[in-house]
Amino acid sequence: MKRAKNVHPASARSLRAAAARLRRGELVAFPTETVYGLGANALDEKAVAKIFAAKGRPPDNPIIVHVSDQKMLRKVARRVPARAKKLIARFWPGPLTLILSKKSLVPSLVTAGLDTVAVRMPQGLARDLVRLAAVPIAAPSANVSGRPSPTTAAHVAEDFPDVFVLDGGPTAHGLESTVVALVPYPVVLRQGALSEESLRKMIPGLRRSPSGGRHAAQSPGTRYVHYAPSRPLILFLRKSSLLSYAKAHPKALVLCSTSLSSLFPKQRILPLGDSPEEIARNLFAALRTRRRGTELLALAIPRRGIGRAVMDRLTRAATRIVP
């Protein structure tokens, strides 16, 4: 496919150009290990306002601040409790976002008026970019609000043809970071690329926010439209119900593991891979598919490891859930 005009392969030069843009108060989209982010200088309120405008993001939805090192963390967070220090030592840089008390230097636009700030230290290219920019970078996922998060530079260009995009190839995890709050008690606010099981080894009393659990299954998308697929998505909790529905709807497009695809000889298939990690990596691209098909059919996977985050996204993306 032809590269869009604002997509720049990652190199020392394009990274410097991106950092300079961020310092000038412009937006830059960049790959992280989770999904692509739409970044701006977190300390520049006008720059952050551009993120909300570009995405059409509701102003009550706060943005994650990305830091490259501990010194930058101290710039935005007032306190780093002992439990946070433990998690940071183990999981940063990586797909873990921590909710911490915020310093007044951080514009309230970033935190949607909350006195807390969400912070994470990303890996690789994203961290290099933050380091070069030398300012904390506010970055939500680089999609128009309500669309699936982007896992390639082409996805970003689809949503934001005029934004400078650093292209680092497909992202490693394919799903967003896990968001954890520690005060007043440790709780997972959003399931993500870092599994709850790994977190629980360090914080045995970790709780789970109801919106990330079963309640969401009963009423997907009641709070915000999220991860809206290119056509209606039906999520099946059992293989047998998927099989009989697919038989009656031969023009539907089936998203399924590679190993199950032989069960649908007459159907168009979008194989997601077999391990939960592969499924996570391929899911958002599948939700953006332009292939023909009346609707998308997906099968539930076990809520274990990254499977929990996969199910959270599928549940929110689903138009309908069939037991």
Using DSSP's 3-state secondary structure scheme, residue 24 falls into: coil
Closer to Mg ion at the Cβ: 32 or 141?
141
| Residue 309 binds to ligand TXA (criterion: CB under 6 A) | no
> What SS3 class is residue 92?
coil
Q: Does 183 bind ligand TXA (CB under 6 A)?
A: no
- What's the min distance (Å) between Cβ of 93 and ligand TXA? 11
Among 72, 76, 137, 139, binds ligand TXA (CB under 6 A): 139
User: Judged by CB under 5 A, does residue 141 bind Mg ion?
Assistant: yes
Q: What pairs with residue 256 in β-bridges?
A: 271
**Contact call for residue 171 and ligand TXA (CB under 6 A):** no
Letters for 91-130 (x = contact with ligand TXA by CB under 6 A, - = none) are ----x-x-x-----------x--x-xxx------------
HSE-CB for 268 with a 13 A CA cutoff: 14
Query: Could you tell me the CA-to-CA distances from 311 to 76, 102, 204, 220, 267 in Å, in that order?
Result: 32, 31, 23, 12, 23
Least distance in Å: CB of 92 to Mg ion? 20
Q: Is 31 in the site for ligand TXA (CB under 6 A)?
A: no
Interaction residues for ligand TXA, span 188-207 (CB under 6 A): 189-190
Q: Which of 7, 8, 37, 128 binds ligand TXA (CB under 6 A)?
A: 37
The answer to whether 65 and 122 have CB atoms below 8 angstroms apart is no
- The nearer residue to Mg ion, 32 or 195, going by C-beta atoms, is 32
Strand (E) or helix (H) holding 254: strand 253-257
Closest CA to 299 of 227, 237, 230: 237
Residue 219 CB contacts under 8 Å (≥ 6 apart), including other chains: none
What sign results for the dihedral spanned by CA atoms 312, 314, 317, 319? negative
Q: In what order do the strands lie in the sheet with 65-66?
A: 7-9, 164-167, 28-31, 36-41, 137-138, 65-66, 116-120, 96-101, 178-181, 187-190, 207-208
Q: Give the pairing type, strands 116-120 and 96-101.
A: antiparallel
Question: Does residue 32 belong to the site contacting ligand TXA (CB under 6 A)?
Answer: yes
Residue 177 Cβ, how far from Mg ion at the closest point, in Å? 10
Residue 42 near residue 48 (C-beta atoms within 8 A): yes
Which tokens sit at 319? Answer: 């138009």
Nearer to ligand TXA, 26 or 295 (CB): 26
Given 10, 21, 22, 34, the residue binding ligand TXA (CB under 6 A): 34
- Tell me whether residue 99 or residue 172 sits nearer to ligand TXA (CB atom): 99
- What is the footprint of ligand TXA within residues 42-61 (CB under 6 A)? 61
What is the H or E stretch that residue 88 is in?
Answer: helix 82-91
Count of residues engaged in binding Mg ion, rule: CB under 5 A? 1
**For residues 176 and 277, which CB has a smaller minimum distance to ligand TXA in the complex?**
176
Total number of residues that touch ligand TXA (CB under 6 A): 24
62 binds ligand TXA (CB under 6 A): yes
Token match 């043809």: residue? 161
166 forms part of the interface with ligand TXA (CB under 6 A): no
Q: Which does 116 bind (CB under 5 to 8 A by kind): ligand TXA, Mg ion, none?
A: ligand TXA
67 binds ligand TXA (CB under 6 A): no
**Contact residues for ligand TXA (CB under 6 A)?**
32, 34-35, 37, 61-64, 95, 97, 99, 111, 114, 116-118, 139-141, 176-177, 179, 189-190
**Contact residues for Mg ion (CB under 5 A)?**
141
